[in-house]
Amino acid sequence: MKSPIAVVVLAAGAGTRMKSALPKVLHPLAGWPMIRHVLQNSAGLKPARIVGVVAPGAKEVAAAFAPHATVVQRKPLGTGHATKAALGALAGHRGPVLVVFGDAPLVTTATMQGLIAACAREKAAVGVLGFRSADPTPYGRLILRDGELEKIVESKDAVGAERDVDFCNSGVMCLDGALLARLLAGIGNHNVKREYYLVDAVAVARAMGHRAIAVEGDEAEFQGVNSRVELAVAERALQQRLRTAAMLAGVTMLDPDTVWLSADTKLSADVTIGPNVRFGLGVSIASDVEIKGFCDIEGARIGRGAIVGPFARLRPGSEVGEDVHIGNFVELKATRMAKGSKANHLAYLGDSDIGARSNIGAGTIAVNYDGFGKWRTAIGDDVFIGSNSSLIAPLRIGSGANITAGSVITEDVPAGAVAFGRARQVTKKGRAASLRAKLKARAVAAKRARKK
């Protein structure tokens, strides 16, 4: 029987280089707070418990860990000290303890699982994830001897041949839970900063007669986020990961680098996405859907066979049914469009329910806001809404009705009725020339007056 796993997430850093009032680990990546990615990847291990280590007063960060426990690192005295703060929450745990960082959101479940499995296989008290880097200068070096991890040397302390080592420390560590308290107790603060570094657990374990190992991973997974620049780098890497997963699952992207996904975007097989499309949180798209270029979609569900765009915007609460067509410069907000309905050009449909096979003409506006409240418009099946119509909510238009172009509709329309609300046209024959002469004379007079 496998020993239960515990995960400690270190998230007490001040994040001063972010230059932000928002705590570093709450900055978004693919729509989620950074820490949520760490928790999601950690949860893939099916751990017995996850413990977050936060700074004093970091209520927002602690809330982001819910329902997992958090503990407070009272003083910023290093990673070893932060891990020690979690001992109380780990009481009774004797399985592997994985220590990860809240600002390293790209480490995958598979990579973490590989480290844990290697420690179990090699009966190691301490395991460290490392990576090969073309430029190891900024990183601590993993020094191996006879296949085991002898020590971790910080970049500034590396001398001689140690400087040439390209096997670098990621900071992710696995420690034997049965030995954890003793390992942490053995870490000293004999350094310039007078801090307790978790990496020193390697030397402590070896001094106790236990093994320490290093497991190699992909450098791309170990990008930490300490600044807005690094946040952008992580976003780009995560987007590439999400795009690749979507395409491998059967999604076509005509220009993948210009498609931006959220962490929870759900795309079915045989979805086709054009260039410059952004998906916000809460989007679900069924199969055989085409999203044309330059669309922005958030909080919406799109049914099988629908066509959306180009230049369409779908806002939260919108539901697009099967075979619906949403055309260029059409915006939906909290609107449901039933099977086969169409809004092909230049329309705003807010807080509306649109029946099956109904057609919404160009320039139509569902006038849903009166300055105080939002009201709904209900349109039945097989309704034709003529171009440039304003539908003043609250409003009901019955099935089969026809609204003539240019109308302002303020009252409910029964099923099968024709409705229009516009001024009667007046035509004055032969008056065009005199009107033009009058307008020209007025313009000339105005120009002369400005010159005086």
Active site residues: 345
> For residue 158, what are its two tokens?
């590396």
The per-residue pLDDT for 154 is 84
pLDDT in tens, 296-344: 999 999 999 999 999 999 999 999 999 999 999 999 999 999 999 999 9
The per-residue pLDDT for 1 is 44
pTM (two decimals) = 0.90
Per-chain mean pLDDT for the chain:
95
Q: In angstroms, what is the C-alpha Rg of the chain? A: 31
- Ordered domains of the chain (ranges, CATH): 6-222 (3.90.550.10), 228-419 (2.160.10.10)
The per-residue pLDDT for 356 is 98
Mean pLDDT, range 277-297, rounded to an integer: 98
Query: Which residues lie closer than 8 Å to 357 by C-beta, 6 or more apart?
Result: 338, 339, 340, 341, 381, 382
137 pLDDT more than 90: no
CA distance linking residue 34 with residue 27, whole number of Å: 6
The per-residue pLDDT for 2 is 66
The per-residue pLDDT for 311 is 98
pLDDT in tens, 204-240: 999 999 999 999 999 999 999 999 999 999 999 999 9
Mean pLDDT, range 437-443, rounded to an integer: 93
CA distance linking residue 245 with residue 189, whole number of Å: 44
**% the chain with pLDDT above 70:** 100
Q: Give Cα 28 to chain centroid, integer Å.
A: 6
pLDDT in tens, 162-212: 888 999 999 999 999 999 999 999 999 988 889 999 999 999 999 999 999
Query: Angle 109-122/34-43 helices, nearest 10 degrees?
Result: 50
Q: Which of 23-32, 153-162, 253-262, 391-400 has the lowest mean pLDDT?
A: 153-162
Q: Which of 103-117, 131-145, 391-405 has the lowest mean pLDDT?
A: 131-145
CA distance linking residue 254 with residue 82, whole number of Å: 46
The per-residue pLDDT for 97 is 98
365 pLDDT more than 90: yes
SS3 163: helix
- Burial of residue 237 (CB within 10 Å: 0-12, 13-18, 19+) is middle
DSSP structural state of residue 393: S
At 92, the pLDDT band (50, 70, 90 cuts) reads: very high
